[in-house]
């Protein structure tokens, strides 16, 4: 956003075209005489000949002569206004920073004191050579070797400060001085944060934006890594001669803010900077602090490594001796995962054979099937492959072999085995996206969260967008889905069918299923290839190879033929024969060919016609396979079949056998129908046929089955796997445990926007128990209220009933009542109801430390909304400053997002556009970071940021952001968030010439206003329809029955302004004077409320009315101040939206300016602004 003709306000997010030097010309709380006063005060303190040599936003620096020691010193005087408490804090923290004195790369603090009038000052050595900023401006970029040397030295200084608990927070070239020995020295800790000292509000931006870490611009607290960012940005400046994110010519403020917060830094390699140097700077300036060096020391070490690599003399990074060191940084992960087999104790002799087996070379896990793989290769033009056959035909094995073949060919491959949990569109989509992101991390970002928050609505759209993202990469991807027959959910089948129907050449799908193709109605044609049970049967060659290659048994041709005929080539039956002959998976190489032949012949006869006969398979497994295994192995396999997948820790928890991991790996090695998950090391799956057999067998022992399920449920719960834990508890008939599990995790699911998961888990529970659980009802109500579900109000009634039926003496009853009150208040504010809501949140605000953080955060946002309806802007800011800590503590991102948005809304209304940009930008960045681009929080922030871009005339960006916020049939937030989506969105369409789109969007807005009973939205929609001559909507809000206590006056003024504008648009130069009076009254009311933006719009409306009444001179008089204000802030569309009379007045004013008729008492309006508006 341009700030034409006016210096930006101090503390704004972006401070205009910033030099890398310390900024000048910022007010310091006094007039011109203040500087003479300070000089006299310093002289009285034995600091003579004070001469100003620099200044910044916090003070002025003087060069003085210290008479007592006859030496030249630099004296920094804090000139910003400070109260008594802040003066004390200032001195206390400067004394603390005195601990840093003595480091060769930090400017010493000689002493601190206060002048006779109470101004704090700091006395430091004087550096005649100046700072790095002056050096770069005078001499240009530094050689990369010199920049690296400086980086090493300053890294040591920063690390020393960090270990002392001090963050600098403003590392930049202007704050690095050069001493007489050419050594860099870090200075100006004037805004440093000292551990244990006071902290600046997160709503205040300190430091220099071009050198400030993106997370600080987003409102997060500073850290050692944000200082590392400042040093990286400093090195970038030293290498190039300019800051990485200088303000571009004509760039809007919001655009620069978001560029700093998200854009990658320019590539230094293009300037012939060595790649390792460029890489080090890029790492230090990474947008995500997790990708930066974890400490200044680590960054300095990386720079020293660069010096070593290039044969340079290694510069020393001065650090204190390690004795007494208190580290202030931690590794990115403090969790150490060890292989249990490695750290296990030495096995006893009874177990030695099992452990030793692990060291053997593993036998092949499957028989290679080149004829089927070749068939898949020759079908390369087909997008869809469907492998279907009953259990035991090797479908999963074929998928595994095809996966390996694709990987060997360099393809991107994703494999997914469906389990019964996935028979839900959100959970299935989650599994698909998670699998895809293992190979393409940038795909599907935010789609799962969006679908979760919408509880599955829009699944087809989500699948389609995922395919579009894959297509956009231009890189083909193969998705292999096993056990597809477990998917019966209509929403999932419908969404996948749509994906198959639309097609994409970059996505190749392969399904394996026990059932036939469920998409027969689709006209897939040549896009589909099927592989059925006949193709999957073993032929003679494959039977012989199976025994020879996997089990070391050589069969005669006649035996192979007999075996093949008896089993019909059914792979499961052939495998059973091999297991029986090999004693449970051990090879039979010691057997003679003759005896083996006889055994094979007997086995073939024994399993003749087994195919499809579950009972026969059961008898055969029990008699010929399981009885050959040790009891420990049998116990393990029986336990493992309880869950869809098994790992060593889970198996140990179920069987209480510490060697379970070793036994699982041994079972896989011996081919006991257990296979490792290639995408999740350490996890195993059974062949489905065998799993069903084992579960049936286990089901006969109800007591043991229940015990295993209870143990498994506890393990899954302890490892955060709530879905599996609940299912197993219910399967064990432990309903109370299932209720407890969902209750204990319900609020966390709301915090994480896992609304579909919450509702799906609640649906598994007995309804009567749900109704008697206030905790569950509160969580569901909170989810519905925060995401504007139509069930929110019925849920509020249900929670009221549940609380009324309980005893007030029950533990937690008072807290639950308080939480329900806050939720009711939140629901009221979304529809502009303010009556009584302050009473509902009073208790939470009175004792915020005793309630969950989300409750205090939500209560503060309710109070902010009420203050906004009363135009008490200062109170909104005070509340949000107070609430910042509770927003941070709450795991629910919506509290922080709404808080930033309310602060931004009042800033925009007061024409503090810089702060508004910062608040909306922080909200959007935070919401996207936590829940993704399509999350509820991101959408409400996008709506307000889109409005801000529109105000400045950037229709393209505004259209994109408002498009992100819009979703047909869905409402987000309250009225303040809906107006930009429906009204401003429609206005952009109309300006683009899309009348039909504008009419539809406004009709949707009218429908939403009627459905929600919110007159303020209805008034804005009707005013916009009137502006474009679209006629009144058939949908009307019954104002008499709707509550309009919140913004009642605004509602009336919107209706009044629309009436005046309608008369204005139908008049040329004969507008009745009554409309002028009405426009004047609107201006007066806006001024009385302190609504600067509304006042500007009303002044423009008044100017247009005067012009339309043939009172052009008065119209100019009214218009010039408003246009000048818009010019200063770059609010192009605010002026143009005033209409045709405004354009005519602009043309006349421009002519006055060009022809010397501009009045001396009028503010200057740059000609460039006129040119932007009227050409």
Burial class for 308, CB neighbours closer than 10 Å (0-12, 13-18, 19+): exposed
Superfamily for 34-125? Phosphorylase Kinase; domain 1 (3.30.200.20)
| Predicted pLDDT at 1054 | 92
pLDDT tier at 381 (50, 70, 90 boundaries)? low
Say how many Å lie between the first and final Cα of the chain, rounded. 19
Whether 47 and 65 have beta carbons less than 8 Å apart is answered as yes
| Predicted pLDDT at 56 | 60
Burial class for 625, CB neighbours closer than 10 Å (0-12, 13-18, 19+): buried
| Predicted pLDDT at 1043 | 46
Q: Which of 249-253, 291-295, 636-640, 659-663 has the highest mean pLDDT?
A: 291-295
> pLDDT tens, 78-99?
775 555 555 655 565 566 567 7
Residue found by looking up tokens 């804005």 in the block: 1020
> pLDDT tens, 769-779?
888 888 899 99
Query: What one-character DSSP code corresponds to residue 106?
Result: B
Q: How do 111-114 and 120-125 pair as beta strands?
A: antiparallel
Task: Name every residue whose Cβ is closer than 8 Å to that of residue 291 and which is 6 or more positions away in sequence.
Answer: 283
Q: Do domains 34-125 and 628-744 have the same CATH topology?
A: no
Query: What one-character DSSP code corresponds to residue 178?
Result: E
pLDDT tier at 262 (50, 70, 90 boundaries)? low
Residue 1055's φ and ψ, nearest 5 degrees, are -65, -40
> pLDDT tens, 527-584?
788 888 888 888 999 888 888 887 777 888 888 887 787 777 878 778 777 766 654 4
Weakest-pLDDT range from 67-81, 129-143, 244-258? 244-258
**Residue 1075: HSE in the Cβ half-sphere, 13 Å Cα cutoff:** 24
Strand-by-strand arrangement of the 120-125 sheet: 47-55, 59-66, 71-78, 120-125, 111-114
Q: Which of 17-21, 118-122, 493-497, 838-842 has the highest mean pLDDT?
A: 838-842
- Whether the per-residue pLDDT at 323 is higher than 70: the answer is no
pLDDT tier at 1149 (50, 70, 90 boundaries)? very high
- Whether the per-residue pLDDT at 633 is higher than 50: the answer is yes
Percent above pLDDT 90 for the chain: 36
- Whether the per-residue pLDDT at 594 is higher than 60: the answer is no
> pLDDT tens, 985-1023?
999 999 999 999 999 999 999 999 998 888 999 999 999
Weakest-pLDDT range from 255-269, 456-470, 899-913, 934-948? 255-269
| Predicted pLDDT at 546 | 86
Residues known to be catalytic: 169
Query: What one-character DSSP code corresponds to residue 115?
Result: -
Tokens standing for residue 972: 């987000």
**How far from the centroid of its chain's Cα atoms is residue 523's Cα?**
39
Q: How do 683-686 and 646-647 pair as beta strands?
A: antiparallel
Between 527 and 1102, where is the model more confident? 1102
SS3 label, residue 671:
coil
Task: Name every residue whose Cβ is closer than 8 Å to that of residue 174 and which is 6 or more positions away in sequence.
Answer: 20, 21, 22, 131, 132, 133, 188, 208
> pLDDT tens, 681-725?
788 887 766 777 788 778 888 888 999 999 999 999 999 889 899
> pLDDT tens, 478-495?
888 888 888 888 888 888
Whether 451 and 760 have beta carbons less than 8 Å apart is answered as no
CB atoms within 10 A of CB 699: 10
| Predicted pLDDT at 26 | 30
| CATH code for the part of the protein at 132-309 | 1.10.510.10
| Predicted pLDDT at 920 | 95
| Predicted pLDDT at 176 | 95
Whether 855 and 816 have beta carbons less than 8 Å apart is answered as no
| Predicted pLDDT at 97 | 63
Q: What is the Cα–Cα distance from 1036 to 1018, expressed in whole angstroms?
A: 7
Tokens standing for residue 753: 């926007």
Q: What is the Cα–Cα distance from 26 to 12, expressed in whole angstroms?
A: 12
Weakest-pLDDT range from 762-766, 847-851, 968-972? 968-972
Q: What is the Cα–Cα distance from 839 to 863, expressed in whole angstroms?
A: 10
Percent above pLDDT 70 for the chain: 79
- Whether the per-residue pLDDT at 12 is higher than 60: the answer is no
DSSP sequence for 1045-1066: -TTHHHHHHHHHHHHHHHHHHT
Q: Report the candidate in 898, 897, 927, 903 with the shortest Cα–Cα distance to residue 916.
A: 903
SS3 label, residue 50:
strand
- Whether the per-residue pLDDT at 763 is higher than 80: the answer is yes
Q: What angle (nearest 5°) sits at the alpha carbon of residue 1136, between those of residues 1132 and 1138?
A: 130
Q: What is the Cα–Cα distance from 962 to 979, expressed in whole angstroms?
A: 11
pLDDT tier at 350 (50, 70, 90 boundaries)? very low
pLDDT tier at 450 (50, 70, 90 boundaries)? low
Query: What one-character DSSP code corresponds to residue 66?
Result: E
Q: What are the DSSP E strand ranges found in 3-141? A: 47-55, 59-66, 71-78, 111-114, 120-125
| CATH code for the part of the protein at 370-536 | 3.40.50.300
Query: What one-character DSSP code corresponds to residue 166?
Result: E
> pLDDT tens, 1026-1067?
999 887 665 555 544 444 455 778 888 999 999 999 999 888
Residue found by looking up tokens 């799993």 in the block: 691
Q: What is the Cα–Cα distance from 938 to 785, expressed in whole angstroms?
A: 17
Weakest-pLDDT range from 346-360, 584-598, 902-916, 1075-1089? 346-360
Q: What is the Cα–Cα distance from 962 to 985, expressed in whole angstroms?
A: 6
Q: What is the Cα–Cα distance from 629 to 1172, expressed in whole angstroms?
A: 85
| Predicted pLDDT at 961 | 94
The helix, strand and coil proportions of the chain, stated in percent and rounded to the nearest 5, come to 60, 5, 35
Weakest-pLDDT range from 126-135, 911-920, 930-939, 1135-1144? 930-939
**Domain spans in the chain, listed from the N-terminal domain onward:** 34-125, 132-309, 370-536, 540-622, 628-744, 784-871, 1048-1174
Query: Annotated binding residue at 76?
Result: yes
Between 682 and 983, where is the model more confident? 983
pLDDT tier at 453 (50, 70, 90 boundaries)? low
Whether 742 and 775 have beta carbons less than 8 Å apart is answered as no
Q: What angle (nearest 5°) sits at the alpha carbon of residue 355, between those of residues 352 and 359?
A: 125
| CATH code for the part of the protein at 628-744 | 1.10.10
| Predicted pLDDT at 557 | 84
pLDDT tier at 149 (50, 70, 90 boundaries)? very high
Q: Alpha carbon of 931 to those of 751, 882, 938: distances in Å? A: 10, 25, 8
SS3 label, residue 700:
coil
pLDDT tier at 441 (50, 70, 90 boundaries)? confident
Weakest-pLDDT range from 332-341, 610-619, 643-652, 959-968? 332-341
pLDDT tier at 126 (50, 70, 90 boundaries)? very high
Between 794 and 446, where is the model more confident? 794
Residue found by looking up tokens 């190879």 in the block: 545
SS3 label, residue 461:
helix
Weakest-pLDDT range from 18-27, 169-178, 567-576, 1007-1016? 18-27
Residue 942's φ and ψ, nearest 5 degrees, are -60, -40
| Predicted pLDDT at 204 | 39
DSSP sequence for 974-1025: SHHHHHIIIIIHHHHHHHTT-HHHHHHHHHHHHHHHHHHT-HHHHHHHHHHH
Q: What is the Cα–Cα distance from 563 to 194, expressed in whole angstroms?
A: 80
């Amino acid at each position: 956003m341009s700030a034409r003709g006016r210096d930006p306000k101090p503390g704004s997010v972006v401070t205009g075209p910033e030099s890398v030097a310390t900024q000048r010309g910022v007010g310091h709380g006094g007039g011109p005489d203040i500087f003479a006063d300070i000089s006299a005060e310093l002289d009285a303190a034995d600091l003579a000949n004070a001469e100003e040599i620099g200044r910044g936003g916090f003070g002025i620096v003087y060069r003085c002569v210290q008479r007592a020691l006859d030496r030249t010193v630099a004296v920094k005087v804090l000139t910003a206004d400070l109260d008594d408490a802040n003066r004390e804090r200032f001195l206390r923290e400067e004394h603390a920073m005195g601990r840093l004195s003595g480091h060769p790369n930090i400017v010493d603090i000689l002493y601190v004191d206060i002048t006779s009038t109470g101004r704090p000052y700091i006395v430091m050595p004087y550096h005649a050579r100046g700072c790095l900023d002056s050096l770069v401006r005078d001499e240009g970029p530094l050689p990369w070797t010199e920049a690296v040397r400086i980086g090493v030295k300053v890294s040591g200084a920063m690390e020393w400060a960090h270990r002392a608990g001090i963050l600098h927070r403003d590392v930049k070239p202007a704050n690095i001085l050069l001493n007489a020995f050419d050594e860099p020295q870090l200075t100006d800790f004037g805004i440093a944060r000292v551990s244990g000292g006071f902290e600046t509000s997160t709503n205040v931006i300190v430091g220099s934006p071009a050198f400030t870490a993106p997370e600080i611009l987003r409102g997060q607290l500073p850290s050692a890594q944000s200082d590392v960012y400042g040093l990286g940005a400093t090195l970038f400046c030293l290498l190039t001669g300019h800051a990485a994110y200088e303000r571009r010519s004509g760039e809007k403020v919001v655009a620069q803010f978001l560029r700093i917060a998200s854009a990658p830094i320019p590539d230094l390699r293009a300037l012939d900077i060595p790649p390792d140097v460029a890489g080090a700077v890029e790492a230090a300036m990474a947008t995500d602090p997790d990708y930066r060096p974890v400490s200044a020391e680590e960054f300095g070490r990386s720079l020293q490594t660069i010096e070593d690599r290039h044969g340079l003399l290694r510069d020393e990074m001065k650090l204190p001796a390690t004795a007494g060191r208190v580290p202030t940084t931690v590794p990115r992960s403090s969790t150490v995962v060890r292989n249990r087999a490695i750290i296990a104790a030495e096995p006893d002799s009874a177990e030695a054979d099992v452990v030793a087996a692990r060291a053997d070379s593993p036998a092949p896990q499957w028989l290679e099937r080149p004829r089927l793989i070749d068939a898949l290769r020759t079908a390369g033009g087909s997008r869809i492959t469907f492998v279907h056959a009953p259990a035991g035909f090797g479908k999963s094995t074929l998928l595994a072999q095809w996966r390996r073949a694709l990987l060997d060919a360099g393809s991107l491959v994703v494999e997914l085995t469906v389990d019964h949990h996935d028979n839900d569109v959100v959970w299935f989509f989650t599994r698909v996206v998670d699998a895809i992101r293992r190979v393409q991390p940038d795909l599907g970002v935010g789609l799962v969260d969006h679908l979760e928050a919408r509880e599955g609505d829009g699944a087809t759209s989500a699948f389609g967008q995922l395919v579009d993202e894959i297509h956009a990469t231009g890189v083909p991807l193969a998705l292999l889905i096993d056990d597809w027959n477990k998917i019966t959910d209509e929403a999932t089948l419908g969404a996948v069918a749509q994906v198959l129907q639309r097609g994409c050449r970059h996505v190749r799908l392969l399904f394996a299923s026990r059932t036939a193709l469920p998409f027969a109605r689709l006209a897939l044609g040549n896009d589909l290839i099927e592989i059925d049970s006949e193709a999957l049967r073993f032929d003679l060659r494959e039977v012989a190879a199976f025994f020879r290659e996997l089990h070391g048994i050589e069969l005669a041709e006649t035996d192979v033929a007999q075996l093949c005929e008896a089993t019909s080539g059914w792979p499961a039956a052939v495998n059973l024969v091999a297991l029986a002959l090999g004693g449970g998976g051990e090879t039979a190489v010691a057997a003679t060919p003759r005896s083996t032949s006889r055994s094979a012949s007997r086995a073939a006869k024994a399993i003749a016609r087994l195919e499809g006969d579950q009972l026969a398979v059961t008898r055969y497994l029990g008699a010929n396979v399981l009885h050959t295994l040790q009891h420990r192995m049998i116990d393990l396999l029986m336990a493992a079949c309880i869950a869809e997948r098994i790992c060593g820790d889970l198996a140990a928890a179920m069987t209480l056998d510490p060697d379970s991991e070793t036994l699982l790996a041994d079972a896989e090695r011996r081919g006991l129908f257990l296979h490792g998950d290639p995408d999740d090391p350490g996890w195993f799956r059974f062949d489905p046929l065998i799993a069903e057999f084992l579960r049936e067998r286990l089901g006969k022992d109800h007591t043991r089955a229940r015990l295993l399920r209870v143990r498994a449920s506890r393990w899954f719960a302890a490892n955060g796997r709530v879905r599996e834990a609940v299912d197993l508890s219910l399967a064990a008939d432990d309903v109370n445990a299932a209720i407890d599990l969902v209750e204990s995790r319900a609020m966390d699911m709301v915090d994480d926007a896992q609304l579909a998961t919450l509702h799906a888990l609640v649906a598994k529970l007995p309804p009567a128990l749900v109704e008697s659980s206030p905790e569950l009802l509160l969580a569901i109500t909170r989810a519905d209220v925060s995401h504007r579900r139509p069930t929110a109000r019925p849920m509020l009634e249900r929670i009221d009933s549940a609380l009324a039926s309980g005893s007030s003496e029950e533990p937690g009853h008072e807290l639950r009542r308080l939480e329900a009150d806050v939720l009711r208040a939140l629901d009221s504010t979304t529809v502009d109801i303010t009556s009584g809501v302050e009473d509902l949140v009073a208790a939470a605000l009175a004792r915020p430390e005793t309630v969950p953080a989300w409750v205090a955060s939500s209560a503060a946002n309710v109070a902010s909304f009420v203050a906004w309806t009363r135009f008490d802007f200062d109170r909104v800011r005070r509340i949000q400053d107070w609430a910042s800590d509770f927003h941070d503590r709450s795991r629910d991102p919506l509290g922080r997002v709404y808080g930033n948005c309310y602060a931004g809304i009042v800033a925009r209304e007061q024409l503090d556009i810089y702060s508004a940009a910062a608040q909306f930008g922080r909200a959007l960045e935070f919401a996207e970071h936590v829940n993704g681009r399509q999350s509820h929080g991101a959408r409400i922030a996008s709506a307000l940021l889109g409005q801000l871009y529109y105000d400045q005339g950037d229709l393209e960006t505004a259209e994109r952001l408002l498009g992100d916020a819009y979703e047909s049939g869905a409402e987000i937030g309250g009225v303040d968030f809906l107006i930009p989506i429906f009204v401003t969105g429609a206005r952009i369409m109309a300006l683009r010439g899309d009348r039909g789109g504008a009419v539809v969007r406004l009709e949707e807005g009218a429908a939403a206003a009627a459905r929600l009973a919110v007159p303020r939205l209805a008034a804005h929609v009707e005013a916009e329809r009137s502006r474009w001559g679209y006629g009144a909507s058939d949908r009307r809000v019954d104002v008499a029955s709707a509550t309009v206590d919140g913004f009642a006056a605004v509602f009336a003024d919107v209706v009044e302004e629309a009436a005046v504008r309608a008369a204005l648009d139908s008049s040329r130069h004969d507008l009745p004077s009554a409309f002028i009076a009405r426009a004047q009254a609107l201006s007066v009311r806006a001024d009385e409320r302190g609504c600067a933006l509304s006042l500007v719009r009303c002044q423009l409306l008044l100017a247009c009315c005067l012009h339309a009444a043939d009172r052009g001179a008065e119209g100019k008089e009214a218009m010039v101040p408003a246009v000048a204000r818009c010019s200063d802030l770059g609010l192009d569309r605010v002026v143009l939206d005033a209409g045709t009379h405004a354009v005519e007045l602009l043309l006349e004013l421009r002519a006055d300016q060009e022809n010397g008729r501009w009045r001396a008492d009028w503010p200057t309006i740059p000609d460039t602004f006129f040119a932007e508006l009227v050409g």
